[in-house]
Structure 1
Amino acid sequence: MKRQLIIPPGTQALYDAFHFSPATRVGDIIWVSGQVGLDAEMKPAEGMEAQARLAFGYLKYILEEAGATLADVVELTTFHTALQRDVQAFAKVKDEFFPRSYPSWTAVGLTELALPGLCIEIRAVAVAGSGEK
């Protein structure tokens, strides 16, 4: 099996500048790099819920470009700058995107993310074709 870099339209500049692929696919397994809640102006959206919705939207977009869907996600890892304060609200947003057949999930609290103002980052592992039809 060969490794396939998934670089959807609109992400080439990040690939070139920071030397990472938005996702990597080997066979049916897809590893998606951490997604954050930046708006169209590349600024953090206002608040955790808005950032989470944007990050999940980017996750969905990248998975689709890789030939998968959110239903194919088997593992989520989320990084939070205010985990204890935000985890219940975050879980509600997560459940909007994963209303059933929940993936495995690990939530990690930390002091900062890559850009000031970011409060959530979401990475995922998916197995293409494994989700509900």
Structure 2
Amino acid sequence: MERRALFAAGARAVADRLRLSPGIISGDHVFLTGMTGSSPDGTMPTNLEDQFRQAFEKIGAVLGEAGLGFDSIVEMTSYHIGLREHFDRFCAVRYAYVVDPFPAWTAVEVAGLRREGAVVEIRVVAARSTG
């Protein structure tokens, strides 16, 4: 069974420091670590939609390292600070990325996230084959 770590451009140093893989291929699946909406320069946008969009863009970059796109996502879990307050805005951004057949999705309200200023962290599992 193939097992290989995935690193999008610029992610290796942080991944090494935290001893994690942004994504890992394991057999027919790709597991991604939770992605917050930090910008490429490491800052956290104060605009929520920008945070949401950036988190999805980071997911797309890691999936791309496995030759996959958003259509390969089979399961998504999102962790939110203030879920009820921004649910509709999050969904509006999410709808631009998820495709039919839509992934299973669980949205969880949390008290805090590791990154200061982050209001969402998104974790996905993708399938490498349609079989």
TM-score between both structures, scaled by the size of structure 2: 0.93
Q: CA separation in 2, counterparts of 1:20 and 1:40?
A: 18
Counterpart residue type for residue 97 of structure 1: Y
1:87 corresponds to 2:87: yes
Matches within 5 A, 1:33-112: 33-112=33-112
Unaligned 5+ segments in structure 1 are: none
Counterpart residue type for residue 57 of structure 2: G
SS in 1 for 2:31: strand
Task: Provide the alpha-carbon RMSD of the alignment.
Answer: 1.5
Where does residue 119 of structure 2 map in the other structure? 119
Per-residue deviation, 1:27: 1.8
Per-residue deviation, 1:99: 4.2
8 Å contact 2:70–2:99 — kept in the other structure? Answer: no
TM-score between both structures, scaled by the size of structure 1: 0.92
**Paired residues, number:** 131
Percent pairwise identity: 30
* C-alpha distance after superposition, 1:8-58 (max 9, x if no partner): 331110121100000011122000111111113311112321101000001
Change (3 A) 1:7 1:111: same
Where does residue 29 of structure 1 map in the other structure? 29
SS in 1 for 2:41: coil
SS in 2 for 1:68: coil
Identify the range of structure 1 (45-54 vs 74-83) with the bigger mean alpha-carbon deviation. Answer: 45-54
Unaligned 5+ segments in structure 2 are: none
SS in 2 for 1:40: coil
SS in 2 for 1:36: coil
Counterpart residue type for residue 45 of structure 1: P
Q: CA separation in 2, counterparts of 1:9 and 1:89?
A: 28
Identify the range of structure 1 (41-50 vs 86-95) with the bigger mean alpha-carbon deviation. Answer: 41-50
Task: Return structure 1 stretches of 4+ with deviation > 6 angstroms.
Answer: none
